[in-house]
Amino acid sequence: MPGASKETASRSMEMDGYEGHVEDLGDGWTVAFERYTMDADAAPFFRGLPDDRCQCPHFGYVLSGKVTFRFADREESFEAGDAYYAPPGHTPVMTAGTEVVEFSDTAELARTMEVISANLQAQG
């Protein structure tokens, strides 16, 4: 059975306010260890996806801080110690000091990351 940690993840990314370590676990699942050092409303990065919202489902656990998922009809917030499921159709909002471990469908995450990467490049 494959496993991963923040230290052993094969892909890492750092930018202002964000640090992420990602590993494909096989069987269609990816794990991400993410840390946010500033408040972040990620909605602009999802422009171009259906309804301009993330279409990838995520299961996660909040190690510290708070994450909020905005849907067309509601918001759901999770704090340190909470496990969560974010179905398709959300945009995430993180507070500074948030750390999560998140499991995502690998194929859908790849499609989502293509759009996020293009939006990041467009912002410079």
pLDDT in tens, 9-51: 999 999 999 999 999 999 999 999 999 999 999 999 999 999 9
65 vs 22: CA distance, rounded Å: 20
Domain annotation for the chain: domains and CATH numbers? 11-123 (2.60.120.10)
Q: What is the pTM of this model?
A: 0.94
Which SS3 state, helix, strand or coil, does residue 5 take? coil
The rounded mean pLDDT for the chain is 96
What pLDDT score does 43 carry?
96
Q: How far is CA 74 from CA 9, 52, 61, in A?
A: 33, 15, 20
Mean pLDDT of 96-110: 98
Give Cβ neighbours of residue 65 (< 8 Å, ≥ 6 apart): 36, 79, 80, 94, 95, 96, 97, 98, 99
For the cut 80, the answer to whether the pLDDT of residue 124 exceeds it is: no
Q: Residue 38: what pLDDT?
A: 97
The pLDDT, as a whole number, for residue 41 is 96
What pLDDT is stored for residue 1 in this prediction? 60
Six token digits for residue 107: 């194929």
